[in-house]
């Protein structure tokens, strides 16, 4: 069954097709949600709500671009909506930890498994984590991030810079402890 046929069947209310679509993307999208939300419970809530939106809005998918990318965008937006409900202070918290940042060294994350990276990302403060995900993983630029999160472009840049440094610091610790 092609993607177009899958979408068509889902639109007709075919439960098997819906389940197939869900199975095809749920684990991948669970990873996305986990990166943004920081906890498994919250990630599953977002995943559930995101899939409901996917099925409700499937008629608006015109086949332009990959279906996976379209669904992923909905999921990211759903996660951001949840995050927006958090206090704004949390998103732009003054993280004292940034003062203790180690000098930046280029690092390629080689030798570190994706699961470990995911765990480190989840440990980041929510504001850092969100900007890092949007910029480094999803590929948004700072202007787009600023619009999405309702913050200034400068804030996005500084948040990302601090998030990046903090993550590197954590990776270094991880590497040292592994050795």
Partner 1 sequence: MSEDEKKGKSGFEASLQEAMANYREPVDPAVWQGVMAGMAPKQKRRAIVWWWWGAAASLLLLLGAGTLWWSQGTQSGQMLAEQTATEKTAPTEESSKGKLDRSENEVPLILDGSASENQVKEDGATDEQAAGLTASKANTDLALTSTNAKELTRKLEGQAASQDLPATATEEEPAPVIAANSPSNPKTGTRNSDGLSTDPNAAFGAPKQRDAGLASTSNDRSGNAGDLKDTKVDAIPYRVAFLDVVPDLPQQLEATDLAVSPFSKKSRKKVGRSSSTWLLAAAVGTMQTQSSTGSRSPSFSTQGLATGNPVVNSNDELGYLSEDASVPEEIVERVVLLPKPEEDYTGSVTAAFTVQYFLLPRLSVETGLLHTSHQFSSKVVYLNDFGERVHLESNFSDRYLGAPLQLNYYFLQSKRFNGYVGGGLALEFGYSRRVSNTSSPDDAWVVSESSSSLDDFNLLTPVGLGLGYNLGRYFSLYAQPGLTFFVPGFEPEGIGNLEVDALQPNFRTGLRFHF
Residues that bind partner 1 in the complex, under the rule CB under 8 A? 13, 19, 22, 26-28, 30-31, 34-35, 43-44, 47-49, 51-52, 55-56, 106-110, 112, 114-115, 117-118, 121, 132, 135-137, 139, 141, 164, 168
State how far the Cα of 124 lies from the Cα of 166, in Å rounded to an integer: 8
State how far the Cα of 179 lies from the Cα of 162, in Å rounded to an integer: 26
State how far the Cα of 43 lies from the Cα of 25, in Å rounded to an integer: 14
Contact between residue 36 and residue 80 where contact means Cβ atoms under 8 Å apart: yes
Supply the DSSP symbol for 13.
T
State how far the Cα of 148 lies from the Cα of 140, in Å rounded to an integer: 10
Q: Which one, 96 or 103, has the nearer CB to partner 1?
A: 103
Q: Which one, 49 or 97, has the nearer CB to partner 1?
A: 49
- Per DSSP (E only), the strands in the chain are none
Among candidate residues 138, 126, 135, 142, the one with its CA nearest the CA of residue 85 = 126
Exposed/middle/buried for 11, CB within 10 Å: 0-12, 13-18, 19+? middle
Q: Which one, 96 or 101, has the nearer CB to partner 1?
A: 101
């Amino acid at each position: 069954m092609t993607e177009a046929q899958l979408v068509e069947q889902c639109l007709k209310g075919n439960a098997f097709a819906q389940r197939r679509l869900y199975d095809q993307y749920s684990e991948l999208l669970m990873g996305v949600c986990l990166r943004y939300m920081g906890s498994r419970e919250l990630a599953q809530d977002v995943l559930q709500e995101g899939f409901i939106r996917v099925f409700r809005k499937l008629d608006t998918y015109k086949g332009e671009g990959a279906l996976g990318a379209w669904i992923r965008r909905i999921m990211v937006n759903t996660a951001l909506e949840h995050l927006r409900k958090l206090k704004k202070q949390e998103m732009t918290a003054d993280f004292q930890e940034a003062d203790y940042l180690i000098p930046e060294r280029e690092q390629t994350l080689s030798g570190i498994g994706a699961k470990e990276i995911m765990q480190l990302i989840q440990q980041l403060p929510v504001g850092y984590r969100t900007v890092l995900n949007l910029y480094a993983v999803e590929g948004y630029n700072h202007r787009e991030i600023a619009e999405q999160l309702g913050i200034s472009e400068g804030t996005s840049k500084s948040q990302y810079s601090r998030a990046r440094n903090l993550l590197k610091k954590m990776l270094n610790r991880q590497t040292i402890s592994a050795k």
